[in-house]
Each structure stands twice: as structure tokens, then as C-alpha cells.
Structure 1
């Protein structure tokens, strides 16, 4: 198990600012597949924005360490607050769609802790989760992926918790960093001033620094094209597209980034034995994709990214499935279904399509035909500069201002986790594959800043 606080130190004789970054695990962790799923916060996508934030802060004049979910969230709150106040000079909280209905208890618990802290607290990349219809209507009702299922009283309770948490953070920072325009409007709706809310996008897309670019060549699919699919069984309208793609492209596979699905791939057990949903989703071992060894899981974020280099195309409604492919330099398309996927796609100009705009016979080839990274590349540097300006506004120096020994050492420490072997459904663990030295691989070796 990773320790409660881990980091890279270049010279312990130098006095450096102490920064704690909340994360599911240390970026250098290299756990076996079964153990690893206990340290992804239920979805491996969490690691991408957490590790990118961590990497952005690794400098020779600071000491960046990880504070685990357990150390941050379990035990008497007074003891946790005392430990954080004594252990660091700054606390950084990379977050995701935290303003959603099922996160009420966490918002209250986080507020309990932050209100007791005396150190600066910076929230990086938080967002709201609303239905697309609520975005269009200008209403601000947090939802679940499957839609709203809450009373007015429950929604009011959620809003109170969100206000309390954000107020506590802004008492300890200059601003709060949100994922997009929708999330900013949501916080303004809750009563917070616009000039204290910075739109920074999702930090995961800034993993490789200011000079990252995506290839702009078109995607041409053939029957032997390799595709990685990142689908969500809760989004019923995508079942047909997923099923057709599995049928039409025998070399396509589905990446299982959620804990429950990954456990099925690793152990072969039925983790959703009584699930009543559309059988075209691969959530049970009887599904043909499981039996044909086409469900995959890699135990580290770095091995996930490196594995994605081997694909010709990736698509689906999972945001960080799209991001993992993008970080690998593989063309990817996001299927948008709610406010969080919409605002990130729009802010970063990711190739994307609203699921509701796809017809009942939509195909992977149709999705691929929509690929165009021109706008993404044109917007990237400006978006990156807004991200680092947010860090600077909150007295956090970016590693990319003056890359030094600490960043090189950090990147070197990722090489072994990047080589971790993945697991394929109904099959023994996969064997290493010789792959091209892509942008992502070079970055992991410290060759790109």
C-alpha cells in the first residue's frame, strides 16, 4: 500500500515549501492489478487529473507529496486537520465532478476539514454535473449520470453543502479552479463572485506540459483497425453503437476503468450478477467481449496511457477514457451526454459529438469522420497558460517555468509503473509488446518538457 504521504526529494538539506496533493495513490505506485483497483477512487480516470496536477508542481524548490484519501478523509477531523496544518505549507485538492447528488456527504466532510485548516487550500479542476437539458434551461440542479432522482429538500441540502465547502476554500485561497463555463455559472448561482472563479479545464489534459500537440491527420478505419472503447453502462442510448462496433471491428476492445468492471476482468467473478440493464453492455462474463478477451485493464495510469499508443482510434462517453488516448497521441472522440463532458469538450476543443445527435444506426466510422484536432491544437497553449496563471494566482509555481532535477527524477520514477502488465478478460495477463517511442513515452523518460 502507498504510504499516506509520498514524494520525490532531490536534496533533503535544502529547505523547500511543503505541498500535499490529495490523490488516490502516489504517482509512483506500482501495485498488482487486483490491489490497484482499491486505490483508484472507484474510477481510474481520477488518477489522470491528480497525477497531472502533481507533475505540474514538481520543482527543485518545493517538496510535493501525496496525501491519501484515507489520511484526508478518515478518523477524527480535529486530528486530521492538526496533522495537515503541521505537515505542509499548502494543500492542493485536484477534484472532478464533485457537485453531483451522490457527493453530498463528501462535500460536508470536506467542509468540516477545510474549515479547521490554517494552511492555504487550492482546489484544482472541480466541476458540476447537470443534465444537458438543465444547461439549456439555465437551471442548476445537480444530477446523477442517469438523471435527477432527488427531492427539492435533498437538492437544497446539496446546495448548502456546496456553498459551505466552496466558502471554506475561498477563505484559504485567491480563487477556485473549475472545469468549464457551466461549473462557473453553477457557483455564481450559489452566490459566489465571478472574479473568484477561474475556468481552467481538466488538468489531466496538461500532463505533458505547454508544447503538447495532437496529430491532425484524418482517421481512416478498416476492418482490422484497433479501437479502444470507453463506454458507460448507465448511458442506455449508447448500447447499440457499442454493440455494432464490437461486431464490425474484431480488433476493438473495451477498457474497464471502473473498479467493478476491472474486478470482473481481473478475477472472473460476476460483479454485477443481478444488473437488469441492456445486455449489450459488457458487464457480465457471459458477454461475448469478455469471452473473446476484449475487455482490458492496466494497473497504473502510466501503463494505461502507454497501452493506448497501440490503438488507431478511441471513442466513448467516458471523459478520461478519451483523455488517456489523447495523452498517448491516439485520436479520440468524446460522446457528450451531460454538462461535465460538454464543458470540458468545449473548453479544450476536444473532438466530440452529443449522443442525442447520433442516429439509431450510428457507426464508429461516422464518429471517426468527425475527427479534427485543429481547434484543440490552436487552443492548447492558451488553455495551458490559463491553467498555470491560476496556479500562480494561488501562489503555486509551475514546474514548467523552469524544469529542473526534481521533474527529471519524477519522470524517471514513472518508468517502471509505465511498464506494468495489463489484464485481459478470460485470459492470462498480457505480455509486453514492443511499441513506438511516442510523445507520451518520451515524456515519461523526461525528454519532453
Structure 2
């Protein structure tokens, strides 16, 4: 019987790697694991085919390609090479979780031609492009591709079933897991709310989840770092003594090369707060209530399409985390789970229409 080829990162090799090597294998963001893992768990008879030499996939009894995508529609990446790979394979191809990382619709004209071609190629070979939210749908429509379906991110259904959240226990000290966003170390700005989140996390939180922060991931893995990197990091976090800083980061800092260990850790938290959508989804899969702080178009549209409990970063005040019980009481987790149920059914239908066997855990 023929198989479905998953076009994505290699989870097996990633799971036995660590530090900067693992970060590179993840596509420089461990959040990429979630939707890649979801594709393998959801689709019956699937196997990884990487990104290159897809024309050889048919020799391995592959009859269809599935692309678990991310925020690929942007101004920096030209995906023409992948469009060519898919064309040369001559196989049907389906994409899920596709997102746009643009500031506004005015930037659509600047999207690389190769990326436009990728959208056209996949749209020609499937019923529709399954995208993260309405903003991405608008972007793709303006690029001339009209068969688009808004489904959110498939990673919420990584185990083929609806997620459940634990009820918040009363009369206890709430353990807060924090997942901010920073791609490069810099001197910082005390008005930067992302930096404020990192400073809060290393002093007050139970856990800090790192997905793409190269310095912290290298430090946690005992890799060599320069004195300048140490000084930048201490300045960013507000430490003057490296021993104190290192001890705090080693105690609370976490990164994960496989989903199971991530879920084990975040299950220990009572609530997850952060600007990472896949941090919020990982928390949900572990039963931990999430609060997503939206900070760009991609997080805003996912919060909307999936009804993730959220607050815009412009409205977020760090001091509110010291009254986290009050915040939790205002969040509509029931709406989040209702939308998840609806999206779950729609994902099942989408896979069925595209002749993909969705493994549902009943």
C-alpha cells in the first residue's frame, strides 16, 4: 500500500540531538516540531521525505505529499526551490498550517515570486490551501490563489483527539511557565515587553521555555560561548554576576528536542504565559491552561481562528502576572475548546476530501 510523504524536518534525528545542532535540525525553532509531529501522528502510513529530491519519493512507494507548513509567506524567504521539487515529483500535494508573516496587506506585492509559485503549485494539486487564519487567506487571495480554507494549526490535534484542560486548583501557589520571543541577543530596552517577560521569568516563573534562543540553548547544553555573549545576556536579563545568572537559567531554562519531554515539563506548570503560539499549544496538549500574548499578525490570526485565550502585547501589563489568579478567571477556556471541536471536525473533512486517512483516537 502506498504511503504519504511528509515534507518537513526529521524528527528522529532531532530527538537524539542537542544544543545548537538540534536547533539547526529543527529549522531554528523547536516549535516546528509540533506541526511536523502532528502530521505524522494524524496521517496513516506516513513517512518523512525531507525537503529535497522529492522526485525520488515515488520510488519509495509514496503516492502523495503533505506539507506541514509555518509562516512561509514572508518577504525574506523565496520558496521557488520547493515549488520546483513538488512539480518534479508529479505527486498530489496538500499543505496545512500555512501562515503569512507580513505587517499588512500592503506588503503582498513584495512577496517573492518563488513563494507565489509554491502556493499555485500546491493549490493546483489539492482541494485548497489549509491556512492559519483570515489574514493569511486574504494575503493568498491577493496573490491570485482563491481555493483557501482557514483551519488554524493542526498541531492542536497532535494525538488525533480533542485537547482537555485541567481545572485550576485553588489555595496554591500558581506555577507559571513563560515562553517569550527573542531571536537575537541585544542590549535591550526596559520598555520592551518581551525583555520584561524574560526578566520576570528568570526571577519569578517556574519555567522558561526556549524555542529559538541560540545563546540560552547553547548555555543549557554547556557549549562554548564568548565573553561578549555572556555580557550581552546578563545585561538583557538584568544580572551583574554571571554565577547567579547561570544558576538561575540552568534551574528554570528548558528546551526540547521531542514533544513528549516538552509535555512532561509543561504539565508541571499551572498556567503557561507567553508570546509563542506553539508554546501555548504544547501547554494545551499537556492540559495546562495557556494565555497567549499576541504580538504580530501571525499570533493575532491564530488566536482568532483558534480562539486561544489571549491578550495583545500593547494591553499586557507585566505586573498583572503577580495576580495571575485574576487573569485566569477572566479567560474563556470553554470557547477555546468549543472552537477546537469545530476545527477538529473541519480538519477531518479536509483530509478526507484530499484522500488522506486521518487517524482519529476515539
- Normalised by the length of structure 1, the TM-score is 0.70
Matching residue of 1:125: 97
Q: SS of 2:99's equivalent?
A: coil
Matching residue of 2:353: 393
Q: Structure 1 residue 174 and structure 2 residue 127: aligned?
A: yes
Rounded to whole Å, the distance in 1 between the matches of 2:240 and 2:343 is 40
Query: Which residue of the other structure, out of 26, 31, 49, is the alignment partner of 2:35?
Result: 49
Backbone CA RMSD of aligned residues: 2.9
Q: Is the 8 A contact 1:218 1:369 kept in 2?
A: no
Q: Is the 8 A contact 1:239 1:278 kept in 2?
A: no
Query: Which residue of the other structure, out of 256, 267, 279, is the alignment partner of 2:210?
Result: 256
Q: Is the 8 A contact 1:205 1:327 kept in 2?
A: yes
Q: Structure 1 residue 305 and structure 2 residue 287: aligned?
A: no
1:48-447 correspondence runs (5 A):
48-58=34-44, 63-68=45-50, 72-73=51-52, 80-87=53-60, 88-104=62-78, 107-131=79-103, 134=104, 139-141=105-107, 156=110, 158-193=111-146, 196-215=147-166, 217-218=167-168, 224-233=173-182, 236-247=192-203, 249=204, 252-258=206-212, 260=214, 261-270=216-225, 273=229, 279-281=235-237, 286=242, 288=244, 290-292=246-248, 293-359=251-317, 361-366=319-324, 367-400=327-360
Change (3 A) 1:126 1:282: farther
1:208 deviation in Å?
2.6
- Normalised by the length of structure 2, the TM-score is 0.85
Structure 1 gap segments, 5+ residues each: 1-15, 74-79, 143-154, 401-447
Change (3 A) 1:361 1:227: closer
Q: SS of 1:184's equivalent?
A: helix
Matching residue of 1:39: 25
1:274 deviation in Å?
8.3
Matching residue of 1:434: none
1:220 deviation in Å?
6.1
Q: SS of 1:122's equivalent?
A: strand
Q: Which has the higher helix share?
A: 2
1:278 deviation in Å?
9.3
Q: SS of 1:356's equivalent?
A: coil
Q: Is the 8 A contact 1:21 1:93 kept in 2?
A: yes
Change (3 A) 1:241 1:256: closer
1:350 deviation in Å?
0.9
Rounded to whole Å, the distance in 2 between the matches of 1:96 and 1:380 is 19
Aligned residues: 347
Rounded to whole Å, the distance in 2 between the matches of 1:177 and 1:338 is 20
Rounded to whole Å, the distance in 2 between the matches of 1:220 and 1:22 is 45
Rounded to whole Å, the distance in 1 between the matches of 2:196 and 2:118 is 40
Structure 2 gap segments, 5+ residues each: none
Change (3 A) 1:284 1:190: farther
1:44 deviation in Å?
0.8
1:310 deviation in Å?
1.1
1:264 deviation in Å?
2.3
Rounded to whole Å, the distance in 1 between the matches of 2:58 and 2:129 is 20
Q: Is the 8 A contact 1:54 1:64 kept in 2?
A: yes
Q: Is the 8 A contact 2:11 2:258 kept in 1?
A: no
Q: SS of 2:220's equivalent?
A: helix
Q: Is the 8 A contact 2:55 2:86 kept in 1?
A: no
